[in-house]
Structure 1
Amino acid sequence: MAPKIFLTGATGYIGGDALYSLVKAHQDFEYTLLVRNEERGKPVAAAYPKARLVYGSLDDAEVIEKEAAAADIVIHTADSADNMPSAKAIAKGLAAGHTAEKPGYWIHLCGTGILTWYDALHERYGQAPIPEQKYHDIDDIERILSLPDSAIHRDVDKVVLASNDSAGVKTLIVGPPTIYGEGRGPTNTRSIQVPGIVNFTLKNGFAPIQAPGLAEWDNVHIHDLGDFFVLAVDAALDPAKNGNPEIFGPHAYFFLESGTHKMSEVSKWVAAEAAKQGLIPEAIAKETDIKWLGTNSKSVAARARKYLGWEAKAPSLKETIPDVVAFEAKKLGKA
C-alpha cells in the first residue's frame, strides 16, 4: 500500500512548498490535506487533483485526531509552532492509531525564533550575538531541549517531544531560521521577514535598522527546506533510519541553515536595490524601533547533514533581493 501522508498548511508558504516537493518526489503517495474550507481548498484541489482534502480549522480536534490516527506520517506546518490545540490533537490521534510495531511519524515545523529568548529576556535588541547564543543541533541538544518555558514556540515543542512517551509515536522537529525565496505552493508563495523589510522600505522611503544593527540570523532558501521535508519523509519510511533515535525521537531536533546575515545588512541591501529600481529617492537605512530586527538566532544544522545528507543548493539570500523588491513594489502598485 502507498504511504499515507496527512499534511496541514497546504495553502501556506512552507506547507505549500513542502507539498510541492513531496508530490514531485512521490506522486504515488496518498495525500490528505487539511484545509480551512472549500473556498480555500479550490486552488489546492486544482493543483493536486489526486489529493484528498478534509475541511476544518486547527481547533477541530476530532478531524485532526482522526486523520493523524489514519496516517503513516503527519506533517504539521499550519501555525504549527504556536497552535496548541492542533498539536494536542495530533499527539492524541497518533497515539490512538499506532503501536510500537507500527508507529506513526510526526514531522513538526517549529523555527529558530525559539533561540531569540535570551535577547527578549534581557532586552538587548540590536546587539551582536554572544557565544552561548549559538546552538549546534547535535552537540548542544541537551541545551536545546531545556530552553526556558518563556521562549516562543517552547510550549508546543514540549507537547511534541512528550508524545514520544507513547510507544506508537516518533517525532522529528525541524527549525528553520529566516526563510527566503519564492515558494512553489498553490496559494501563498511569499515569506515574511525579508518582504516585511522591503514593504517598510517602499512605504517609508528608507530601510529600517534596530540600532546598533549587530544582530544576526541564519537563513535558508524555501526550496532547500522543501528538499528537507522529502528527506525526512524518506527517513520515516526507511527501516535503516526510522528506528534511529537521533532521527526520530526526543533528540530529533533539526535546525536548517545555509547562510548567515545581519538584519542591518539585509536592510542596506534592500535600500540599495530599491533605489536602483527607482522606488525610493536614495539608498538610506535609518534607525527604528522594530524589535524583531534586533534579535539573534544562531544555529548549526549538523543533524540534517550528518543523518539525512541534506545540503543547500539554492541561491543565496542576497541574490534574491532584486526579485523580492520588484515583487513587493508590484504588490504595492509602485512598479
Structure 2
Amino acid sequence: MIPHVFITGATGYVGGDFLHVLMMAHPEWKISALVRDSEKATKLISEYPTIRIVAGDLDSASLIEEEVKNVDIVFQIADCDHTGVARAIAKGAAHHTADRPCWVIHASGTASFIFEDMREKTCGIQRTKEYNDWDGLDELLNLPDDACHRDVEKIIIAAGQMDAERIKTAIVSPPTVYGPGRGVIKQTSIQAYFLARDVLKRKKGIIYGEGNNVWSQVHVQDLSDLFLLLGEAAAAGGGNATWGNEGYYLSEMGSYAWGDVSRAIAQVACEKGYIPTAEVTNLDDGELMGENLGYGQLMWGSNSRGTSIRARRLLEWTPTRPTLLEEIPGIVDGEAQSLGIAPLEVPTVLCEA
C-alpha cells in the first residue's frame, strides 16, 4: 500500500530538507503539505509537482484534524511549541482504527534540557548532566513542566498512550541543528548563524560567560535521514522502530562547547577579513539579556547534552556529515553575504590565535 503522508513545516529549514529527502526517496508516496503562504506554495509545487498543498496554518485546527484523519503518516516538523497543532493532530489521529493506525512523528528539541540554567539564570558554565534515549527513556518522558517544549510533548505522549493500537507516536528531539538545508524556501538554521551574524554586525567576537557550556549537535541532512528511517518504518507497519512510550529519539553526532564555537567564528571572520581582530569579548548580563540578545542565555549560554542510542541501535542511523565547527567557514560567509558585508583590509597578524 502506498502511504498517504501529511507534513507540516515543509517550507522551513528542517522540514524543507526532510521533504527534499522524502521526495527523492519515495516519489510514489502521496504527500500533502500544510502551507499558509501562497507564494511559498507555488515554489513548492514548482519543485515537487506531485505534492498536494493544504492551504492553512498551524491554527487551522479543523483542517489539520481532517487531514490527519485521512492519512497514514504525519510529520509535525513545524513550531514545536504550538500546542494547538499538537491537539489537532491528536484529535485527527483518534479517528483511526487498529487495522489502519495513524503514525505521528513529531519534531521537538533538546532545549527541553536547559531548564536548570534557566531556573538558576546561569550562563557559560558547564553542567555534566547528559540524557540518553535508551535506559534514560523514562526521564525523557517525564521532564519537568517548566522545560521548553514540554507542554507539546505531553500532548503527543498522551495521544500515543490513549490507544496504542490506533495511534503510534514518535518524538524526534534534535539538539543544535546546522548545515546547508536543501529545502525550497529556507536553507539556514538559527543558533550558530545568529551568533555569527551578531559578530559580523558588532565587528568583534563575543563569548557568553566562560563559554564552557556544552550542547549536542546534528547536521540537518543527518537529521533528515532519521526522519526518513522512521517514516519508512511506519510505512512497514512499525518496522524495527519503537513507538509510544518507547518512541523517543534523540538525534546527535557528538557535542561542542559554545566557547569553541564563539572563538572559531571570530577566527574565521577575521581571517576572511570581515572583522579586524580574532579577539573575543565577554558579554555581561546586561548585554546578554538586552533587547538585541534576549535569547542569548537560551541559545548560547545554556547546556543541552544528550546521547542518541535508540536510532543507532534500532534503525542503524549513522550520521556522517561535517561537525558544526567544520561548517563555521560556510556559516560566516553565508551570514556576511546576507548582511551585504564586504571584507575589510586586515593585517594577518591580528587573526593569529
Alignment TM-score > 0.5, same fold: yes
State the Cα distance separating 1:240 from its structure 2 match. 6.1
Aligned residue number for residue 179 of structure 1:
177
SS in 1 for 2:16: helix
Structure 2 residue runs of 5 or longer lacking an equivalent are: 289-295, 343-353
1:261 matches 2:244: no
What secondary structure does 2:74 align onto? strand
Letter in 2 for 1:201: V
Q: After superposition, what is the alpha-carbon deviation per residue over 1:239-263, rounded to whole angstroms, capped at 9, x for unaligned?
A: 4627x6xx11122110011121111
Distance 1:185 1:23 in 2: 11
Q: Distance in 1 between matches of 2:326 and 2:210?
A: 25
Q: Give TM-score, length-normalised by structure 2.
A: 0.91
Question: What does residue 24 of structure 1 align with?
Answer: 24
Aligned to 1:319: 326
Q: Quote the Cα distance in structure 1 between the aligned partners of 2:274 and 2:203.
A: 8
Whole-angstrom distance in 2 between the partners of 1:124 and 1:204? 24
2:335 aligns with: 328
| Runs of 4+ that moved beyond 6 A | none
Quickly say closer, same or farther: Cα 1:160–1:266, change in 2 above 3 A: same
In the alignment, which residue of structure 2 is the partner of 1:271?
266
> Partner of 1:87 in structure 2?
86
How far residue 235 of structure 1 moved from its aligned partner, in angstroms, is 0.9
User: How far off its partner does 1:40 sit?
Assistant: 2.4
Q: Distance in 2 between matches of 1:306 and 1:220?
A: 17
Question: How many Å apart are 1:283 and its aligned residue?
Answer: 0.5
3-state secondary structure, aligned to 1:250: helix
The DSSP-based 3-state class of the residue aligned with 2:34 is strand
Q: 1-side partners of 2:93 and 2:39: how far apart? A: 28
Structure 1 residues 240 and 77, CA gap change in structure 2 (3 angstroms): closer
Matches of 1:154 and 1:240 in 2, distance apart?
A: 25
Conserved in 2, the CA contact under 8 Å of 1:64 and 1:90? yes
Offset of 1:225 from its aligned partner? 0.5
Q: Indicate conservation of the 8 Å contact 1:255/1:301, yes or no.
A: yes
Q: Distance in 2 between matches of 1:326 and 1:125?
A: 28
Q: CA RMSD for the aligned pairs?
A: 1.2
Task: State whether residues 197 and 207 of structure 1, in contact with CA within 8 Å, keep that contact through their aligned partners in structure 2.
Answer: no
Work out the CA distance in 1 between the residues paired with 2:187 and 2:239: 32
For the Cα contact (< 8 Å) 1:199–1:328, is it kept in 2? yes
Q: TM-score, normalised by structure 1?
A: 0.96
Paired position in structure 2 for 1:42: 42
Query: % of aligned pairs identical?
Result: 39
Distance in 2 (alpha carbons) for counterparts of 1:105 and 1:178: 26
Aligned-partner Cα distance in 1 for 2:196–2:15? 23
CA contact (8 A) 1:87 1:159 kept: yes
Deviation at 1:161, TM superposition (A): 0.2
> Partner amino acid for 2:274?
L
Match of 2:281 in 1: 286
Comparing 149-158 and 137-146, the one that deviates more:
137-146
In structure 2, the partner of 1:208 is 206
Structure 1 segment 64-213 matched on structure 2, within 5 A: 64-79=64-79, 81-96=80-95, 98-130=96-128, 133-164=129-160, 165-166=162-163, 167-213=165-211
SS at match of 2:33: strand
Question: d(CA) in 2 for partners of 1:282 and 1:178?
Answer: 27
Match of 2:291 in 1: none
Deviation of 1:37 after TM superposition, in Å, equals: 3.0
Q: Deviations over 1:172-231 (max 9, x none)?
A: 000010011010000000100011111000000122211121100010101101111110
For structure 1, the residue ranges without an aligned partner over 5 or more in a row are none
For 1:191, the aligned partner's letter is S
Instruction: Work out the number of aligned pairs and report it.
Output: 328
